[in-house]
Structure 1
Amino acid sequence: MRDISVTTSDQVRALTGGRYRSTTPYTVGREKIREFARAVQDYHPAHWSEDAAADLGFTGLLAPATFSSIILNHVQREILDTVLTGYRSTRILHADQVLDINRPLVADDTLTCDIYFESVRHFADYDVLAIKSVLIDQHGETVQTGSTALLARTGRAHPQLAETVALPGYSPALPRPALPLADPVAPSGGSRTPCTTVAFDSLAVGAALPIRTVRLSHDDLVNYAAVVGDTDSIMRTSAGAMTGLPSAVAPGMLKLGMAAAFLSSRLGDPAAVTRFRAQFAHYTHYLRIPPHAASAIEFNGHITSLDPRRRRATIAIDARSAGRRLFGYAAAEVRFPLAD
């Protein structure tokens, strides 16, 4: 009999250019928004109170900017369980992330997630996967898109590739989604104007935002993992604490969520951010939390560019713990009200 076994790398290459659609739509719940906001230490009132969200122009409770990581974690788990069965989640490193936000998520949104496998290449002991995610709401509107790079240690060979790629939800050779170039009208918030508490005309390139310091413990890591449904992280962190291992590593999307909370607290409007970019795979990026103490993290930012015509600013974000940088690079693009 002919040996048809293939590597996991071959699985990904067979999927490249195609789309995987999540099998079950995800409905954004009010309490889940509050749980996630607590997990990333984002205490902007719009994440906790419908009245505060209404003051910003939304008809439901506003989700923090990186809330979509819950949905993406669910879909990633689904893909690893059914399509890319040769990879282990514990051997996948989140290298970098770009998140484009057409509108924020709000309570009662029902979302479908499409995953596009853009490319795969092999480097040293890793497969480098470039993946695009597209969140589509109940109105058929694209609300968020993400570009992700994952580093996956090469897994063992897995047979029956033909059966793998024929699973429900996968469609081969679909065209790339057409991404909007302008901000569409948000169905839940209407045609809203940003409600930043900082005036665009007061900004200058090089200006710094006030520093915010937060603390992160083992319990915080376990709580975040529970909220996003990352059972592997819960087991690793809890086992480390019980067995006396020296530290646990904070995931990249938790740090990015806390960076988004930092911007919300300084700008006043969580929905004003239209893009996040972050590089996690960097020798400085590991935030190690000791088992019986909390680590202090200092967030700061500065303006790197201004676009007066579009009333937009780019803000570089820096996060440090014990003097060590936690991002290779991180930045956000923020939209401000148009001039009168």
Structure 2
Amino acid sequence: MILDAVIYELEKIIDKEHIRYNEPMKNHTSFRVGGPADIFILPEKTWQVISAIKILKENSIPFFVMGNGTNLVVKDGGYKGAVIKLTSINNIKVEGNKIRAQAGAFLSNVSIEALKNSLKGMEFASGIPGTVGGAVAMNAGAYGPEIKDIIESAVLTDYDGNLYCFNKEELQLSYRSSIIQRENYIVLEATFALEKGDVIAIKNRMEELNRRRAEKQPLNFPSAGSTFKRPEGHFAGKLIEDAGLKGYSIGGAKVSEKHAGFIINYNNATAKDVLELIKKVQEVVYEKFNVMLEPEIKIIGED
């Protein structure tokens, strides 16, 4: 069987304990929803990622590469193929005013390293729950600044295992978008160029932003952060609130009463609940304001 051959090849390059089968994806997404992935891979080295992708591609096995699952909904039927999770590839290295971080490193940990080395510019990222790879791919941002403001370059691979080093311009970073998403590249590493600053001022700024986040966002419930991209000329949360949808729920999924831009899992929601609520919000907002909200979250898998 093809699958047996694929498993045999994968286990030659990655320790068996780092490959799981029928792994519940609700254990790997911040929304806490999702059915099982046929194959779930936790590589520890960059070369293992490249090799695994080659094996999967050569055998026509669908695959998806993820970070910490903070911007991801996996449908209840799970993922028919392989999911590669990069969080074990997480080295962070400070070189003068620059920080090199592997794709699976948490942004919060990179921000802490910046603080320790009196480097400013990354304070906005200290409360973003995702990893470097996902943040670069979607040009993550908070309270104004975005990844494009601090990134110098990124090492990428394509589905054929070719390596590239793209500078900031080549990454084509724009609002929640990049060439990485459009051309299906995978981030392996990023270098951030920061500035020397005052450690107390940096710490105070990080604490201030995290305090604002805690005051305004429903951090006590599973979610994937802001559910929708900001539509041009509007704010998604305000449109949803003005549409009368604050607190509206389907099954165990609810539009947060604290911040209408967040859909939360407040009572054992299924992925179906979340996706139906997203659709309902889109329909009502479009009907009332003629604005089509575009999800910021990634949706994969089968019903």
TM-score (norm: length of structure 2):
0.30
TM-score, scaled to structure 1: 0.28
Query: Between Structure 1 and Structure 2, which shows a larger proportion of helix residues?
Result: 2
Which is strand-richer, 1 or 2?
1
1 or 2 for the larger relative contact order (CA 8 Å, sep ≥6)? 1
